[in-house]
């Protein structure tokens, strides 16, 4: 009888800090209203994201793209964190 050893890899989901992305964009001089308009969402939706709500995948991807366009850089590791264990 053979014994198999398996290496178990735990992959924790990563979380994008959308609140910080929004603040980065605002730091370039764009208003919250301007971000909401550029994203095609309401101002109140943007405010929910600022308070910690997660955007849908499509709007989250669009926010990452807007950040790249406005801030001129890819997001750095500080904007991506390990998701908290549930």
CATH number at residue 77: 1.10.260
H helix runs in 1-86, sequence order: 18-27, 32-39, 43-50, 57-71
Question: Per the domain annotation, does 5 fall within a domain?
Answer: no
Range(s) of the domain holding residue 67: 14-81
Neighbouring-strand partners of residue 82:
14
Four-residue CA torsion sign, 11, 64, 40, 48: positive
Question: Per the domain annotation, does 2 fall within a domain?
Answer: no
Q: How many domains does the chain fold into?
A: 1
What is the model's pTM? 0.71
Per the structure block, which two tokens stand in for 12? 């924790």
Question: Per the domain annotation, does 18 fall within a domain?
Answer: yes
Question: Per the domain annotation, does 4 fall within a domain?
Answer: no
Q: How far apart are CA 48 and CA 55, in angstroms?
A: 9
pLDDT tens across the length of the chain (86 residues): 556 666 655 555 567 889 999 999 999 999 999 999 999 999 999 999 999 899 998 999 999 999 989 988 666 555 665 555 43
**Residue 16 phi, psi dihedral angles, 5° rounding:** -85, 135
């Amino acid at each position: 009888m053979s014994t198999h050893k398996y290496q178990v890899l735990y992959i924790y989901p990563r979380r994008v800090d959308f609140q910080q992305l929004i603040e980065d964009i605002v730091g370039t001089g764009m208003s919250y209203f301007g971000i909401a308009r550029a994203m095609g969402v309401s101002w109140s939706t943007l405010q929910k994201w600022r308070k910690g709500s997660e955007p849908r995948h499509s709007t989250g991807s669009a926010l990452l793209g807007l950040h790249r366009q406005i801030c001129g850089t890819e997001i750095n590791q500080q904007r991506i964190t390990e998701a908290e264990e549930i």
